[in-house]
């Protein structure tokens, strides 16, 4: 049984433990570096209903939606995954897979604002709470935003008072224009994948649009880093286990899903990945093996933070194209910088080392 997952997204024991417990030979490969990149790699093969040499892959919500629509996902037999009852209620009925017929979440995470509190103090400004704060002149050229459309557009929609969970192209227009302004004015140093993490940790930038799991890891080496979910809200994402339709080891894949949905095993994974577990009871088990992580709000966010998190709406293919290539309200402002940011989207993403991109 073969699994493709994102880099540094598991502990170093679970795969071996699963093989010992189940007797199933398992190959675990960290080669899912970017949703669009992976999609392009397997598209021709799966369109011809051929094997990609993988049984489980782990796309993010929106890519899972696309792959399900293309018929690339096998149904998961609930009887073979009794531990699915441990799935958090908040993740049980996503718009792209209403009854979790084809997917089960691997880990979840938050997208918000991260900054270096020492460098902010050096600027002589108060610590930022919102993305509006880092658009102030003091931060010019000292911030990065993300190439991931749903994160950048979603967070800027929230900044503009719009809800990304019900986004339309029209309701996102102010967010597109705000992103264009930030880009063309030089306010944003660059748009990145998760390679922002090194710049943030090393003090090359003051603030960044960031993923919670990255910051949880970076804090081990730089205690001056702070992650906040703005008062107006942050984004919530999940990466999802999906059994490939051409898999010849569906029963083995279901056994893996069931295994990792045992709270003890889920806690072990979370201790390694340092993202948010989708498994009920994992937090209690994590407290037994890593109490510091269990009390970390980046891994176990408090209820008031959870209430401010939004999942970007499901987009149909034509709407997706419009969101990926928006045009500013004033066509005269279709600058080279704006075009470059669109073109750099795929090139600048990196592995989810530390982790996400």
pLDDT block averages, 10 residues each, the chain of length 357: 93 98 98 88 97 97 94 98 95 92 97 98 97 98 92 96 94 93 93 88 97 90 96 95 98 98 98 93 96 92 89 87 71 43 40 38
Q: What is the pTM of this model?
A: 0.81
Report the pLDDT value the prediction gives residue 315, as an integer from 0 to 100: 87
Q: pLDDT at position 327, please?
A: 65
With pLDDT > 90 as the criterion, what percentage of the chain qualifies?
A: 77
What are the pLDDT digits (tens) for 197-236?
A: 999 999 999 999 999 988 998 998 999 999 999 999 999 9
Residue 193 has what pLDDT?
Answer: 79
pLDDT of residue 283: 93
pLDDT, one tens digit per residue, over 44-86 is: 999 999 999 999 999 999 999 999 999 999 999 999 999 999 9
- Per-residue HEC secondary structure of the chain comes to CEEECCCCCCCCCHHHHHHHHHCCCCEEECCCCCHHHHHHHHHHHHHCCCCCCCCEECCEHHHHHHHHHCCCECCCCHHHCHHHHHECHHHCCCCCCCCCCCEEEEEEEEEEEEEEHHHHHHHCCCCCCCCCHHHCHHHCCCEEEECCHHHHHHHHHHHCCCCHHHCCCCCCHHHHHHHHHHHHCCCEEEEECCCHHHHHHHCCCCEEEEEHHHHHHHCCCCCCEEEECCCCCEEEEEEEEEEECCCCCHHHHHHHHHHHCCHHHHHHHHHHHCCECCECCHHHHHHHHCHHHHCCCCCCCCHHHHCCEECCCCCCHHHHHHHHCCCCCCHHHCCHHHHHHHHHHHHHCCCCCCCCC
């Amino acid at each position: 049984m073969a699994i493709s997952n994102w880099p540094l997204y598991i502990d170093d024991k679970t795969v071996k433990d699963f093989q010992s417990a189940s007797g199933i030979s398992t190959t675990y490969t960290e080669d899912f570096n970017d949703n669009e990149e992976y999609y392009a790699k397997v598209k021709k093969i799966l369109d011809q209903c051929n094997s990609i040499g993988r049984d489980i892959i782990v796309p993010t919500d929106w890519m899972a939606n696309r792959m399900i629509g293309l018929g690339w996902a096998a149904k998961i037999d609930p009887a073979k995954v009794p531990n699915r009852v441990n799935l958090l209620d908040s993740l049980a009925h996503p718009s792209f897979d209403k009854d979790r017929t084809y997917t089960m979440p691997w880990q979840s995470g938050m997208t918000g604002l991260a900054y270096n509190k020492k460098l902010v103090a050096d600027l002589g400004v108060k610590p930022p709470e919102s993305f509006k704060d880092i658009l102030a002149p003091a931060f010019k050229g000292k911030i990065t935003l993300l190439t991931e459309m749903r994160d950048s557009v979603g967070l800027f929609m929230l900044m503009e008072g719009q809800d990304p969970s019900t986004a339309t192209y029209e309701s996102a227009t102010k967010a597109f224009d705000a992103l264009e302004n930030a880009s063309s004015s030089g306010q944003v140093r660059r748009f990145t994948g998760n390679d922002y993490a090194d710049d943030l940790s090393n003090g090359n930038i003051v603030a960044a649009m960031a993923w919670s799991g990255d910051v949880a890891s970076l804090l081990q080496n730089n205690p001056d880093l702070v992650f906040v979910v703005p008062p107006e809200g942050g984004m919530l994402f999940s990466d999802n286990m999906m059994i490939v339709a051409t898999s010849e080891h569906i029963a083995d894949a279901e056994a893996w899903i069931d295994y990792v949905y045992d709270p003890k095993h889920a806690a072990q994974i979370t201790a390694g990945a340092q993202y948010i577990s989708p498994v009920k009871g994992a937090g209690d088990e994590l407290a037994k093996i890593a109490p510091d992580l269990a009390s970390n709000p980046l891994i176990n966010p408090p209820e008031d933070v959870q209430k401010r998190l939004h999942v970007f709406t499901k987009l149909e293919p034509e709407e997706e194209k419009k969101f990926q290539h928006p045009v500013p309200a004033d066509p005269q402002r279709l600058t080279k910088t704006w075009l470059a940011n669109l073109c750099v989207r795929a090139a600048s993403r990196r592995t989810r080392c530390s982790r996400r991109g």
